[in-house]
Protein backbone atom coordinates (compact mmCIF):
# COMPACT_ATOMS: atom_id res chain seq x y z
CA UNK A 1 0.00 0.00 0.00
CA UNK A 2 1.50 3.37 -0.99
CA UNK A 3 1.69 6.32 1.40
CA UNK A 4 -1.22 8.22 -0.17
CA UNK A 5 -3.53 5.19 -0.05
CA UNK A 6 -2.53 4.55 3.57
CA UNK A 7 -3.39 8.16 4.49
CA UNK A 8 -6.75 7.96 2.78
CA UNK A 9 -7.55 4.69 4.57
CA UNK A 10 -6.45 6.06 7.95
CA UNK A 11 -8.52 9.21 7.47
CA UNK A 12 -11.59 7.21 6.46
CA UNK A 13 -11.15 4.93 9.47
CA UNK A 14 -10.67 7.90 11.81
CA UNK A 15 -13.80 9.56 10.47
CA UNK A 16 -15.69 6.38 11.32
CA UNK A 17 -14.49 6.70 14.93
CA UNK A 18 -11.56 4.30 14.83
CA UNK A 19 -9.28 5.48 17.67
CA UNK A 20 -6.32 3.45 16.37
CA UNK A 21 -6.49 5.40 13.09
CA UNK A 22 -6.34 8.69 15.00
CA UNK A 23 -3.41 7.38 17.02
CA UNK A 24 -1.59 6.23 13.87
CA UNK A 25 -2.05 9.65 12.20
CA UNK A 26 -0.74 11.29 15.35
CA UNK A 27 2.30 9.00 15.47
CA UNK A 28 3.04 9.55 11.78
CA UNK A 29 3.03 13.36 12.00
CA UNK A 30 3.84 14.35 15.57
CA UNK A 31 7.55 14.84 14.86
CA UNK A 32 7.27 16.95 11.71
CA UNK A 33 4.47 19.06 13.18
CA UNK A 34 6.39 19.50 16.44
CA UNK A 35 9.29 20.91 14.42
CA UNK A 36 6.91 23.52 13.00
CA UNK A 37 5.72 24.33 16.51
CA UNK A 38 9.31 24.66 17.77
CA UNK A 39 10.05 27.23 15.11
CA UNK A 40 7.17 29.43 16.23
CA UNK A 41 7.17 28.74 19.96
CA UNK A 42 9.44 30.49 22.42
CA UNK A 43 10.35 27.17 24.08
CA UNK A 44 9.58 23.43 24.08
CA UNK A 45 6.66 23.84 26.47
CA UNK A 46 4.98 26.38 24.20
CA UNK A 47 5.69 24.17 21.19
CA UNK A 48 4.08 21.20 22.95
CA UNK A 49 0.99 23.30 23.67
CA UNK A 50 0.87 24.36 20.02
CA UNK A 51 1.18 20.72 18.91
CA UNK A 52 -1.67 19.61 21.15
CA UNK A 53 -3.90 22.44 19.88
CA UNK A 54 -2.90 21.66 16.30
CA UNK A 55 -3.91 18.01 16.58
CA UNK A 56 -7.21 18.99 18.19
CA UNK A 57 -7.90 21.23 15.18
CA UNK A 58 -6.65 18.65 12.68
CA UNK A 59 -8.89 15.93 14.07
CA UNK A 60 -11.84 18.28 14.54
CA UNK A 61 -11.60 19.34 10.88
CA UNK A 62 -10.55 16.00 9.43
CA UNK A 63 -13.76 15.69 7.42
CA UNK A 64 -12.77 18.88 5.56
CA UNK A 65 -9.52 17.38 4.25
CA UNK A 66 -9.80 16.82 0.50
CA UNK A 67 -7.37 14.30 -0.98
CA UNK A 68 -7.83 15.88 -4.41
CA UNK A 69 -6.45 19.22 -3.19
CA UNK A 70 -3.13 18.00 -1.83
CA UNK A 71 -1.21 15.93 0.64
CA UNK A 72 -2.42 15.38 4.19
CA UNK A 73 0.91 16.50 5.64
CA UNK A 74 0.74 19.87 3.85
CA UNK A 75 -2.81 20.38 5.07
CA UNK A 76 -1.85 19.43 8.63
CA UNK A 77 1.19 21.75 8.57
CA UNK A 78 -0.97 24.64 7.44
CA UNK A 79 -3.35 24.05 10.34
CA UNK A 80 -0.37 23.83 12.70
CA UNK A 81 1.07 27.13 11.44
CA UNK A 82 -2.36 28.74 11.85
CA UNK A 83 -2.61 27.48 15.45
CA UNK A 84 0.81 28.99 16.21
CA UNK A 85 -0.08 32.28 14.53
CA UNK A 86 -3.41 32.51 16.36
CA UNK A 87 -1.63 32.24 19.70
CA UNK A 88 1.06 34.70 18.67
CA UNK A 89 -1.55 37.21 17.50
CA UNK A 90 -3.41 36.81 20.78
CA UNK A 91 -0.32 37.28 22.95
CA UNK A 92 1.86 39.68 20.99
CA UNK A 93 1.47 43.30 20.06
CA UNK A 94 2.80 44.22 16.63
CA UNK A 95 3.16 47.92 17.08
CA UNK A 96 6.28 48.45 15.00
CA UNK A 97 5.47 50.10 11.68
CA UNK A 98 8.52 51.25 9.79
CA UNK A 99 7.64 52.75 6.43
CA UNK A 100 10.03 52.47 3.53
CA UNK A 101 11.71 49.33 4.79
CA UNK A 102 14.48 48.06 2.55
CA UNK A 103 13.69 45.33 0.06
CA UNK A 104 14.96 41.98 1.25
CA UNK A 105 15.97 39.23 -1.12
CA UNK A 106 14.14 35.98 -0.48
CA UNK A 107 17.10 33.74 -1.27
CA UNK A 108 19.44 35.28 1.32
CA UNK A 109 19.43 32.25 3.59
CA UNK A 110 22.44 30.36 2.30
CA UNK A 111 24.38 31.05 5.50
CA UNK A 112 21.79 29.06 7.43
CA UNK A 113 22.44 25.96 5.34
CA UNK A 114 25.78 25.38 7.08
CA UNK A 115 24.10 25.05 10.48
CA UNK A 116 22.70 21.90 11.97
CA UNK A 117 18.94 21.77 12.47
CA UNK A 118 19.40 22.09 16.25
CA UNK A 119 21.64 25.16 15.85
CA UNK A 120 19.24 26.80 13.43
CA UNK A 121 16.23 26.13 15.67
CA UNK A 122 18.14 27.51 18.65
CA UNK A 123 18.97 30.72 16.81
CA UNK A 124 15.43 31.13 15.50
CA UNK A 125 13.92 30.56 18.96
CA UNK A 126 16.13 33.32 20.37
CA UNK A 127 14.67 35.90 18.01
CA UNK A 128 12.05 38.29 19.41
CA UNK A 129 8.49 37.04 18.73
CA UNK A 130 7.74 39.40 15.85
CA UNK A 131 11.01 38.75 14.05
CA UNK A 132 10.75 34.99 14.61
CA UNK A 133 7.18 34.85 13.36
CA UNK A 134 7.85 36.80 10.18
CA UNK A 135 11.08 34.90 9.50
CA UNK A 136 9.32 31.54 9.85
CA UNK A 137 6.36 32.59 7.75
CA UNK A 138 8.43 34.10 4.93
CA UNK A 139 11.60 32.01 4.73
CA UNK A 140 10.44 28.60 5.89
CA UNK A 141 6.69 28.45 5.28
CA UNK A 142 6.66 30.46 2.03
CA UNK A 143 4.17 33.19 2.90
CA UNK A 144 4.40 36.44 0.91
CA UNK A 145 4.78 39.75 2.73
CA UNK A 146 1.20 40.54 1.77
CA UNK A 147 -0.04 37.28 3.34
CA UNK A 148 2.04 37.90 6.46
CA UNK A 149 0.63 41.41 6.77
CA UNK A 150 -2.91 40.07 6.49
CA UNK A 151 -2.34 37.19 8.94
CA UNK A 152 -0.66 39.37 11.59
CA UNK A 153 -2.66 42.54 10.94
CA UNK A 154 0.46 44.62 10.21
CA UNK A 155 1.62 46.59 7.20
CA UNK A 156 3.70 45.01 4.44
CA UNK A 157 6.56 47.34 5.35
CA UNK A 158 6.46 46.04 8.93
CA UNK A 159 6.70 42.48 7.63
CA UNK A 160 9.68 43.40 5.44
CA UNK A 161 11.35 45.33 8.23
CA UNK A 162 10.95 42.52 10.76
CA UNK A 163 12.31 40.00 8.25
CA UNK A 164 15.30 42.21 7.56
CA UNK A 165 15.99 42.59 11.29
CA UNK A 166 15.58 38.86 11.90
CA UNK A 167 18.08 38.09 9.16
CA UNK A 168 20.54 40.63 10.51
CA UNK A 169 20.36 39.09 13.98
CA UNK A 170 20.72 35.56 12.59
CA UNK A 171 23.68 36.58 10.43
CA UNK A 172 25.44 38.07 13.45
CA UNK A 173 24.81 34.91 15.46
CA UNK A 174 26.16 32.76 12.63
CA UNK A 175 29.31 34.88 12.32
CA UNK A 176 29.91 34.59 16.07
CA UNK A 177 29.38 30.82 15.93
CA UNK A 178 31.77 30.49 12.99
CA UNK A 179 34.44 32.47 14.87
CA UNK A 180 34.04 30.32 17.99
CA UNK A 181 34.16 27.15 15.86
CA UNK A 182 37.30 28.39 14.05
CA UNK A 183 39.00 29.21 17.36
CA UNK A 184 38.13 25.84 18.85
CA UNK A 185 39.01 23.82 15.73
CA UNK A 186 41.35 26.11 13.87
Domain count, the chain: 2
Residue 147 domain flag: yes
- pTM as predicted: 0.70
Residue 62 domain flag: yes
- Annotate 124-137 with DSSP letters as a single string: HHHS-HHHHHHHII
Domain span at 74: 3-91
59-115 confidence digits (pLDDT tens): 999 999 988 888 899 999 999 999 999 988 887 654 433 333 333 333 334 444 555
Give the residue ranges of DSSP H helices in the chain.
3-15, 19-40, 44-60, 72-91, 117-126, 129-135, 145-152, 156-185
Give the mean model confidence (pLDDT) for residues 113-139.
82
Residue 105 domain flag: no
2-23 confidence digits (pLDDT tens): 777 887 899 999 999 999 999 9
Q: What does the alpha-carbon distance between residue 112 and residue 171 come to, in Å, rounded to a whole number?
A: 8
Residue 152 domain flag: yes
Same domain flag for 39 and 72: yes
**CATH number for the domain harbouring residue 71:** 1.10.1740.10
Residue 13 domain flag: yes
Residue 41 domain flag: yes
Amino acid sequence: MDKRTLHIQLIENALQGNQQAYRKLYEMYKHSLFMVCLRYGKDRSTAQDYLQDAFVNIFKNLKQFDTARGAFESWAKRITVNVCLADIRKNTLYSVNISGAEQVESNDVSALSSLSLQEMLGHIQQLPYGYRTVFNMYVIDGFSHKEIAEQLNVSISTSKSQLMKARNILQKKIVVNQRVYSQDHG
